Amino acid sequence: MSHIRGRFAPTPSGYMHIGNARTALLSWLQIRSMNGSFIMRMEDIDKPRCKPELAEQALADLRWLGLDWDEGPDMGGPHAPYTQSEREHLYASALDQLEQQHLLYPCYCSRAELLSIASAPHGLGSEGPVYPGTCSRLTEAERAERALSKTPSLRFRAAEGPYTFHDETAGWQTFAAGGGGDFVVRRADGIISYQLAVVVDDAAMGVTDVLRGYDLLDSTPRQLMLYEALGLPAPRFAHVPLLNGTDGKRLAKRHGSIALASLREAGVSPERIIGWLAALSGLLPQPEPVRASELVSEFALDRIPKEAVVVTDELMRYLTG
Ligand code: GLU
């Protein structure tokens, strides 16, 4: 085994669908094609939104597809536990470390206040507009006063200038305002943000290669700033274009039966799904039933299309038969 390590990190807040399956497949193929270890990690840090049954279902769906992993919540491994809700002590100590460097400050802004800056330019798709730093300028007295009526979230002080990084599929990327301004690392309800948890975990688990959907490209500067501040080595990143519906929006329920569990129930074979996803990802000329393991030698990052793939009704019909 090489030292290459990758992971798939589903959030069990809904059923796995063909978009998740595609990310899982491509990440798995990338790692298996380099003889690396593949990790499964359950990202249930936002507990109120997640369900243990959905986590179980996700693992079952992914195994049914023909994917496997060397470490994970169902089998353990050297970096156990592999479920974020059981790793909170690690996130707390990362917060301490950032606190000691004076990189955090409490933010008392309400949702309404944050929404009122929604029209600001350079907003990040995934996390709203650039935070203008309102609460970073509060005096101690103002903080004490606001603390009487509100529990704050904690924000990380982002770099001020533009932030540039290299993505293995998308190329060089530059984001203004340190990649979107100061961002939340712990919500007012105490829940640790995805950004912090994912960095702590990928570093602790020795992940060398992250392949995930384009929707997380703009989270990457934030994560890289956290790696830097925590003195942790960052992985390589490859963000792959999303699967979209004919309306140009990200594939979702309204585009048809896209949950793996429903396709399975409808009698669609895993090989059919894998072949279909491989064709949409530039790894096969036509969709034809194939096992995931048969695609390992076909995988190359540069075969993956650079643009979002539109899943037409016809393609959808091919999948469901
Ligand atoms: N848990 C995240 C999601 O389901 C993925 C995290 C990542 O790949 O960095 O969207």
For 188-206, write each residue's pLDDT tens digit: 999 999 999 999 999 999 9
Residue nearest to atom 7 of ligand 1 (CA): 9
Do 122 and 188 belong to one domain?
A: yes
Domain holding 55: CATH number? 3.40.50.620
CB-ligand 1 contact for 239 (6 Å cutoff): no
Do 276 and 254 belong to one domain?
A: yes
Give the pLDDT confidence score for residue 113 in this predicted structure: 79
How far is ligand 1, taken at its centre, from the CA of residue 9, in Å? Answer: 5
Give the pLDDT confidence score for residue 296 in this predicted structure: 98
Mean pLDDT is lowest, of 251-255, 285-289, 301-305, for 251-255
User: What average pLDDT does the chain have?
Assistant: 92
Kindly state whether residue 116 falls inside one of the protein's structural domains: yes
Entry pTM: 0.94
pLDDT mean over 218-229 = 95
pLDDT band at 111 (very low <50, low <70, confident <90, very high): confident
Do 62 and 125 belong to one domain?
A: no
Give the pLDDT confidence score for residue 118 in this predicted structure: 54
| Torsion sign (Cα): 69, 72, 74, 78 | positive
How far is Cα 232 from Cα 199, in angstroms, rounded to an integer? 9
Domain holding 126: CATH number? 3.90.800.10
Kindly state whether residue 205 falls inside one of the protein's structural domains: no
CB-ligand 1 contact for 43 (6 Å cutoff): yes
Give the pLDDT confidence score for residue 166 in this predicted structure: 96
Do 257 and 303 belong to one domain?
A: yes
Q: Where are the alpha helices (DSSP H) in the chain?
A: 18-33, 52-65, 88-100, 111-115, 140-149, 177-180, 194-204, 220-230, 260-265, 270-280, 313-320
CB-ligand 1 contact for 201 (6 Å cutoff): no
Q: State whether residue 211 is helix, strand or coil.
A: strand
Kindly state whether residue 31 falls inside one of the protein's structural domains: yes
**Catalytic annotation present for 253:** yes
pLDDT mean over 276-281 = 96
Residue finishing a domain among 195, 230, 252: 195
Give the pLDDT confidence score for residue 255 in this predicted structure: 76
Name the nearest CA neighbour of 10 among 315, 274, 259.
259
| pLDDT at residue 163 greater than cutoff 80 | yes
Structure tokens at 193: 């943000």
Range of the domain at 131: 88-195
Structure tokens at 310: 């539109």
Do 164 and 99 belong to one domain?
A: yes
Kindly state whether residue 180 falls inside one of the protein's structural domains: yes
* Ligand 1 atom nearest 213 alpha carbon: 8
Residue finishing a domain among 195, 228, 260: 195
| Residue 96, C-beta contacts closer than 8 angstroms, at least 6 positions apart | none
Do 105 and 65 belong to one domain?
A: no
pLDDT band at 121 (very low <50, low <70, confident <90, very high): very low
* Ligand 1 atom nearest 202 alpha carbon: 9
Which residue's structure tokens are 């990189």?
103
Kindly state whether residue 131 falls inside one of the protein's structural domains: yes
Counted domains in the chain: 2
